[in-house]
Amino acid sequence: MSPPTEQITVLLQAIGSGDSAAREQLFGILYDELRGMARGEIAKGPVRATIQPTALVNEAYLRLLGRQFPEWENRRHFFFVAARAMRDVLVEQARSKAALRRGGDWKRAELDGIEPTLATPAEDLLALDDALTRLEAEDARKAEVVRLRFFAGLGEDEIAEALGVSKRTVSRAWSEARARLAVLVKPPEA
């Protein structure tokens, strides 16, 4: 069961004022929700074998609290920023893997007779990140719905509550965003 939104908002405001005890209290209260978000992201994401939910939560948490006095307006804003931090961690990991795949510190070997494979999961995540960035420039709300749904693992009801809109609005934005992302992610035809 989620803690009351008011309690989280009070803690977020205290953190913004520099209360370090509030940071620890907030992390303790929201840890299970953040870990659930991370588990959901890793389960559907392409990097599932390389990072554990606990590591993803911890890395995202360090990013969230990296600034001395972060200013979060409310629970919605915090989870939006948390989803963004998790996305950034996963994208950086994918970029790192892609760099290694392109040479990095590997030694050359002859691979005669081996057929190249299609895009790797890390490349898929990079393509999704690029498409999401372009979608955000076109329609910020749809991009926010995608982030909360895909990266935060929230359902339509939770997103509607977080954004202060109807479930129908979220459903429509999710459907339209998926269609647009499919076009943006699709490689150009030769």
Q: What is the pLDDT of residues 111-143, one digit of tens each?
A: 455 544 444 566 677 787 888 889 999 999 999
DSSP 183: H
Question: Residue 64 contacts by C-beta under 8 Å, 6 or more apart in sequence?
Answer: 70, 78, 81, 82, 85
At residue 48, the pLDDT reads 47
Extract the tokens encoding 118: 């299609």
Q: Is 146 exposed, middle or buried (0-12, 13-18, 19+ CB in 10 A)?
A: buried
Task: Tell me the C-alpha distance between 29 and 27, whole Å.
Answer: 5
At residue 84, the pLDDT reads 84
> Is the pLDDT confidence value at 13 over 80?
yes
Residue ranges of domains in the chain: 5-102+119-185
Euclidean distance between the first and final Cα of the chain, in Å?
Answer: 51
> Which of 28-37, 43-52, 66-75, 142-151 is the least confident region?
43-52
- Mean pLDDT of all residues belonging to the chain: 77
At residue 187, the pLDDT reads 64
Question: Residue 185 contacts by C-beta under 8 Å, 6 or more apart in sequence?
Answer: 127, 128, 131
Question: Residue 87 contacts by C-beta under 8 Å, 6 or more apart in sequence?
Answer: 129, 147, 151
Task: Provide the angle, in degrees to the nearest 10, between the axes of the packed helices 53-64 and 20-44.
Answer: 140
